[in-house]
Amino acid sequence: MDETSGMTAGYAEVNGARLYYEVAGEGHPLVLIHAAIADNRMWNGQFGEFAKHYRVLRYDMRGFGKSVMVDGQYSDTGDLFALLNFLGMDKAYLLGCSMGGSTALDLTLEHPAMVDALVMVASGIRGIKFNGEYPALEDELEAALKAGDIARSAELAARIFLAGEGRTLEQIDPALLASFMDMVTIALNNEKRRDEHTMPPPEPPTATRLSEMHIPLLYIYGNRDEPVIIHIAKTLAQQIPGIQVAMMPGTAHLPSMEQPEEFNRIVLDFLDAHIPTNRE
């Protein structure tokens, strides 16, 4: 974990679960929501930097990192809403990656008064049509998960989401790979229980409600990500007036971990353009 001065950490008792969280910095709340293949540590390259300008919250969703999976039906959106209330954050900027971005979008649609700006990173959108092909490794990953082979599943996840299109794991920084493997192994060990207890997504599908978005919105993706993510980025650019779309060359599904300095610049410039801060 990165060393950030003035950081507070703890567990929030919300909806029958204990969610681990960290808060640092002062100013308007900025919430970092991790992907389903990671945990709050995926934001090590952002947490301290963003805390120079905002009151930054990062946390582990239940079944990830330090947040233990518990029985009982739940939704990640409901947990996020409860966590924000627990911490007294009645308005915030949301930044989520992959499933974290989808969770942030659902919260924005359910509680629009709470969200002042939204940054989605390589996030899926329920209901968007995609007629292209998914990587063949996706089928292998599904089979490995069904067989309970967590080690094989973690390796395949790394090849799909970290290496991405046209790269091998040998081309990935060893420290980055080690960090990813630690996070994704925890996530995969809890995936079956999460699937059993997660509530069905809200209806109607998110893709049919995009016209309701009236806040600053940025979508970031890497050109080595899965074709469906690139398709979503292009579709959003066509459907949502005023949206900003940023492609980060040479990155896959976790651009914030691969190129943290460039990622931070893109996000801070976006927020500055809409909500000026005291950045130097």
Within a domain: 66 = yes
| Residue 121, domain CATH | 3.40.50.1820
User: What pLDDT digit, counting tens, does each position of 104-135 carry?
Assistant: 999 999 999 999 999 999 999 998 989 888 88
pLDDT at 171 over 50: yes
Contact between 73 and 65 (Cβ < 8 Å): no
The span from the CA of 19 to the CA of 82, in Å, is 10
Within a domain: 126 = yes
pTM: 0.95
* Tokens encoding 183: 């996070």
pLDDT at 4 over 80: no
Within a domain: 279 = no
The CA-CA-CA angle for residues 14, 20, 26, to 5°, reads 100
The span from the CA of 178 to the CA of 240, in Å, is 37
Provide the pLDDT confidence category of residue 1 given band limits of 50, 70 and 90: very low
Within a domain: 184 = no
pLDDT at 276 over 70: no
17 lies in which domain range? 8-130+201-274
State the pLDDT at residue 260. 98
Find how far residue 195's CA is from the centre of its chain: 18
Within a domain: 263 = yes
| Per-residue CA distances from 157 to 118, 130, 144 (Å) | 26, 21, 10
Within a domain: 2 = no
Number of structural domains in the chain: 1
User: What pLDDT digit, counting tens, does each position of 11-30 carry?
Assistant: 999 999 999 999 999 999 99
